[in-house]
A = this chain, B = another copy of it.
Amino acid sequence: MERVASPVDYTEDELGLVRFGADGLVPAIVQDAGDGTVLMLGYMDAEALRRTLGTGRSWFWSRSRGEYWCKGETSGDRQWVRSVHYDCDGDALLLVVDQDGNGACHTGARSCFYRSFGSDPSGPAGGSPARE
């Protein structure tokens, strides 16, 4: 399926409602638009958020690598942003996306949250534990 990027409309007033932390970052939950699976959590600074809204692709700030990354640009597991929500306090974001490829996780699992307490922690199950 060939997907296309759709930039998200936004105003500076809306951007002003987002409260970035002392480190300049805000957590961004990524949810599958199709079935609601929670795929991953990343972090955005103001520039990553602007890039996400402006391009319709998901951009994050990598805390470990200290650089911007566009999800799937190297792996092919791209995310096509359908809507971007901010919470009541403005200190968390929710991206609803169409997910390309196998999924969001670098392990090959569809969701990064493939492990749960009380289960066998031996490795990725590939499925979506949150929607069982």
Docked-complex contact B92 and A112, CB < 8 angstroms? yes
Q: Which residues of B contact A20 (CB under 8 A)?
A: none
Docked-complex contact B27 and A31, CB < 8 angstroms? no
Q: Which residues of B contact A88 (CB under 8 A)?
A: 105-107, 109, 112, 114, 124
Chain B proximity mask over A84-99: 1 for CB below 8 Å, otherwise 0:
1111110010101000
Docked-complex contact A41 and B13, CB < 8 angstroms? no
Given contacts A116-B83, A121-B13, contact A92 B41 (CB under 8 A): yes
- Separation of A109 and B86 alpha carbons in the complex (Å): 13
- Separation of A35 and B29 alpha carbons in the complex (Å): 17
Q: Which residues of B contact A8 (CB under 8 A)?
A: 117-118
* A76 within 8 A of partner (CB): no
Residues of A within 8 A of B (CB): 8-10, 13-14, 17, 27, 29, 31, 35-38, 40-41, 53, 83-89, 92, 94, 96, 105-107, 109, 112-118, 121, 124, 129-131
- 8 residue pairs A–B, Cβ–Cβ below 8 Å: A10-B117, A27-B27, A27-B92, A35-B36, A36-B130, A36-B131, A40-B87, A94-B130
